[in-house]
Structure 1
Amino acid sequence: MVTEFLYFFQEDFYYIVPALWFIGYACKRTPFIPDWLIVWILLCIGVLASCNLYGWNTRAIAEGVIATGMAVFSHQIVKQTFHKDEL
């Protein structure tokens, strides 16, 4: 299933997901950014990065949203699998 999903995801976007992880980590460590705002910051950056690669069209915006979703979802998988005791 993951391979079929990655088939629709262009290869240039593989670099956006780890970049969003790093940006999210930096935002989490910044004391004046509330937690609820981090997802919105990542969404804006993901869409801007994808539109920077492919121009302002519907597909680029959708792939920016998907890249942000993959970054947040994969972070939650790691967090809830390996850091269960801290939750």
Structure 2
Amino acid sequence: MLQEIEFTIREDFYFIVPALWFIGYACKRTPFIPDWLIVWILISFSVLAAVSMYGFTVQAIADGIIAVAIAVFSHQVVKQTFCKDEIK
């Protein structure tokens, strides 16, 4: 399964996933940003980063969206596994 994830986005774009975790955490702690807006901020940041690195192509946009999906999914896996008592 891990090998399939490796081929979803370009190798030199892996750095974006932890960066998205950090940006999402900062947005979550900001009181005037509603939760529903956080994912849109992450998508915007990720797609803009991909487009600035690779140019305005469908592959770059897809890489940005897939990176957000990996970041949000991995965050939820960690949250659901280790923070069971805090989730209600």
TM-score, with normalisation over the residues of structure 2?
0.94
The answer (yes or no) to whether the contact 2:47–2:61 under 8 Å persists in 1 is yes
Identify unmatched segments of 5+ residues in structure 1: none
Q: Deviations over 1:1-34 (max 9, x none)?
A: 2212312421111100000000000000000000
1:85 maps to amino acid = D
- The 5-angstrom pairing of residues 48-59 of structure 1 reads 48-59=48-59
Partner of 2:25: 25
The answer (yes or no) to whether the contact 2:8–2:66 under 8 Å persists in 1 is no
1:13 maps to amino acid = F
RMSD: 0.9
Partner of 2:36: 36
Partner of 1:4: 4
Structure 1 residue ranges (4+ consecutive) displaced by more than 3 angstroms after TM superposition: none
Q: Deviations over 1:6-65 (max 9, x none)?
A: 124211111000000000000000000001100010011010011111000000000000
The answer (yes or no) to whether the contact 2:21–2:75 under 8 Å persists in 1 is yes
Count residues in correspondence: 87
In structure 2, distance between residues paired with 1:49 and 1:14: 12
1:44 maps to amino acid = S
Q: Return the structure number with greater helix share.
A: 1
TM-score, with normalisation over the residues of structure 1?
0.95
| 74-83 vs 1-10, greater mean Cα deviation | 1-10
Identify unmatched segments of 5+ residues in structure 2: none
Q: % of aligned pairs identical? A: 67
